[in-house]
Amino acid sequence: MKQRSFCPGRLSTAIAIALCCFPPFSSGQENPGTVYQFNDGFIVGSREKVDLSRFSTSAITEGTYSLDVYTNDEWKGRYDLRIARDKDGRLGVCYTKAMLAQYGIAAEKLNPQLSEQEGYCGSLKSWRNEENVKDNLVQSSLRLNISVPQIYEDQRLKNYVSPEFWDKGITALNLGWMANAWNSHTSSVGGSDNSSAYLGVNAGLSWDGWLLKHIGNLNWQQQQGKAHWNSNQTYLQRPIPQLNSIVSGGQIFTNGEFFDTIGLRGVNLSTDDNMFPDGMRSYAPEIRGVAQSNALVTVRQGSNIIYQTTVPPGPFTLQDVYPSGYGSDLEVSVKEADGSVEVFSVPYASVAQLLRPGMTRYALSAGKVDDSALRNKPMLYQATWQHGINNLLTGYTGVTGFDDYQAFLVGTGMNTGIGALSLTSPIRG
């Protein structure tokens, strides 16, 4: 019986020849001009209605692909995206306003007119026909690269979780308490004992997004001879993500930002800062500039570096800078790829009334005044509104009214080069 043997040298030579004859798969987006020819004679079986022309080029074909999306080299997640031809016959992704928001791009900055059109879908170039606005699909790694000037990014959405991914939480009962007892004894003639006890309770029951909350305390005084339960707050509360707000009903308090805090038995609807991105919750000025290349932007407050990031060529806006304290101008340096540096200053001073540009807060309250010292408890209506106009100005107004008393106020908070100040004009009647 003959034994067959293989020579390692000949085998490696054959493999090398095969690799040269059959190049590895290449992405059509990377080498769109490459053309291949296929012989359908190698197909086993019936060759009827077999069209191999679609495989003649390495370009990507229409269909749905699971792609990793990167905006300015920052990963935004993996999405199932439809690749289709537009009206001009070009293949690409059709972007909606919601899709751009998912990828960290503010459609209203990219194209204010198109962002107002309900359901508009178009290529990235149709949203903004600029040289620095482009996308590129790398088929070999199933990666979609989106490149836009930093000014079109929504910096407020960094580290922000979209409401569609929010969780209502679990059904739970929580109870917090604090107890204290006190006793004093006088040993002199005719001495006496004096004792008291206190129990504070903070309890809550959550279920399917609802929260039932009670805060109260039990007081006992020896001299009075009996215990007394005092209810500070008892209310039912539910978040409203569509409004970035929270509604409460029961034994509540007004927010006290512009008027005195008053206890009510009624309802309240107000902005919930916890529903906003971190960059919108506290005031800081927007920092604007223009980068001529891929640049390093550094922000200093005094001698300390408080922020640093890289930006692509084009205009940029920084909205996620968090200065310390309530004053001290910010020094911004832009270091270009060629080593040149541009330095400019941004005034920063803050008061409680200042909000980030575009940020709005409001509060609406109505109910009967809850004050045990009053025999006749009047109805109270109160509304306040605050809006960040720009880096320098925040406007606010409010109204509060009882049965026979009304008060109005209007004011503005200002961030100036010499400091921050707030002006309020109350009107009572």
Averaged over 219-242, what is the pLDDT?
A: 87
The reply to whether 268 and 388 lie within a common domain is yes
Query: Could you tell me the CATH number of the domain that includes residue 120?
Result: 3.10.20.410
The reply to whether 254 and 361 lie within a common domain is yes
In a domain, 202, yes or no: no
CA dist 38 and 359 (Å) reads: 60
Does 1 score more than 60 pLDDT? no
Of 426, 343, 356, nearest in space to 392 by CA: 356
The reply to whether 234 and 267 lie within a common domain is yes
In a domain, 180, yes or no: no
The reply to whether 308 and 402 lie within a common domain is no
Q: What is the DSSP letter of 105?
A: B
Under the banding of pLDDT at 50, 70 and 90, the label for residue 4 is very low
Report the pLDDT value the prediction gives residue 19, as an integer from 0 to 100: 39
Averaged over 36-44, what is the pLDDT?
A: 58
Last residue of a domain, one of 59, 83, 107: 59
Between 298 and 402, name the one with better pLDDT: 298
**Residue 20 DSSP SS3:** helix
The reply to whether 362 and 341 lie within a common domain is no
Under the banding of pLDDT at 50, 70 and 90, the label for residue 265 is very high
Of 331, 334, 329, 344, nearest in space to 297 by CA: 334
Report the pLDDT value the prediction gives residue 166, as an integer from 0 to 100: 82
Report the pLDDT value the prediction gives residue 41, as an integer from 0 to 100: 62
Report the pLDDT value the prediction gives residue 15, as an integer from 0 to 100: 42
In a domain, 21, yes or no: no
Between 135 and 139, name the one with better pLDDT: 135
Report the pLDDT value the prediction gives residue 46, as an integer from 0 to 100: 54
Residue-range definition of the domain harbouring residue 92: 63-164
CA dist 183 and 308 (Å) reads: 59
The reply to whether 155 and 80 lie within a common domain is yes
Averaged over 260-269, what is the pLDDT?
A: 91
Report the pLDDT value the prediction gives residue 303, as an integer from 0 to 100: 80
Averaged over 82-110, what is the pLDDT?
A: 86
CA dist 387 and 364 (Å) reads: 15
**Residue 115 DSSP SS3:** helix
In a domain, 401, yes or no: yes
In a domain, 351, yes or no: no
**Residue 151 DSSP SS3:** helix
Report the pLDDT value the prediction gives residue 340, as an integer from 0 to 100: 92
Under the banding of pLDDT at 50, 70 and 90, the label for residue 28 is very low
- The answer to whether the pTM exceeds 0.85 is no
Between 53 and 197, name the one with better pLDDT: 197
* Percent over 90 (pLDDT), the chain: 26
Under the banding of pLDDT at 50, 70 and 90, the label for residue 274 is confident
Report the pLDDT value the prediction gives residue 245, as an integer from 0 to 100: 94
The reply to whether 258 and 364 lie within a common domain is yes
**Residue 363 DSSP SS3:** strand
Does 17 score more than 60 pLDDT? no
Report the pLDDT value the prediction gives residue 50, as an integer from 0 to 100: 55
In a domain, 321, yes or no: yes
Averaged over 235-251, what is the pLDDT?
A: 93
The reply to whether 124 and 216 lie within a common domain is no
The answer to whether the CB of 66 falls within 8 A of the CB of 143 is no
pLDDT per position as a tens digit, 139-192: 888 899 999 888 888 766 666 777 777 888 899 999 999 999 888 777 666 667
The reply to whether 87 and 147 lie within a common domain is yes
Does 18 score more than 50 pLDDT? no
The reply to whether 383 and 260 lie within a common domain is yes
Q: What is the DSSP letter of 1?
A: -
Number of domains in the chain: 4
Last residue of a domain, one of 164, 194, 219: 164
In a domain, 197, yes or no: no
The reply to whether 238 and 374 lie within a common domain is yes
In a domain, 174, yes or no: no
Q: Work out the mean pLDDT of the chain and round it to a whole number.
A: 81
Nearby residues of 217 by Cβ (< 8 Å), 6 or more positions away: 198, 199, 200, 201, 229, 230, 232
Report the pLDDT value the prediction gives residue 90, as an integer from 0 to 100: 81
Report the pLDDT value the prediction gives residue 158, as an integer from 0 to 100: 65
The reply to whether 89 and 121 lie within a common domain is yes
